[in-house]
Amino acid sequence: MAGEHPSYDKLNMSPERIAKKLAYDKKYQSSPKRVNYREDLNQANRKAGTYGNNDNLDMSHTKAGSMVTENMKSNRGRNGQN
């Protein structure tokens, strides 16, 4: 179910704080900048042939600004910290 995550318990988040966070996340992810970002990644993923085929590969941004294929776990685990 949306809105439930183990980290909410670890952070001792109240239901009000969770609702506030979800509202913020929804607004942030719907901004034109974030939508364009996801569109670019999905387009690159499709072009590389890794979109939706369960090969555990993602497109990852490098420090130079290009995109390369990378294991999903490593890419998402880094969480933007290159």
Look up the pTM and report it: 0.68
Is residue 43 within 8 A of residue 64, CB to CB? The reply is no
Distance CA 71, CA 77 (A): 10
Two structure tokens written together for 7: 């980290």
pLDDT 10s digit of each residue in the chain, 82 long? 466 788 888 889 999 999 999 999 999 999 999 999 889 888 988 998 888 888 888 888 888 888 888 898 888 887 666 6
Domain ranges within the chain, ordered by starting residue: 14-78
> Token match 């490098």: residue?
62
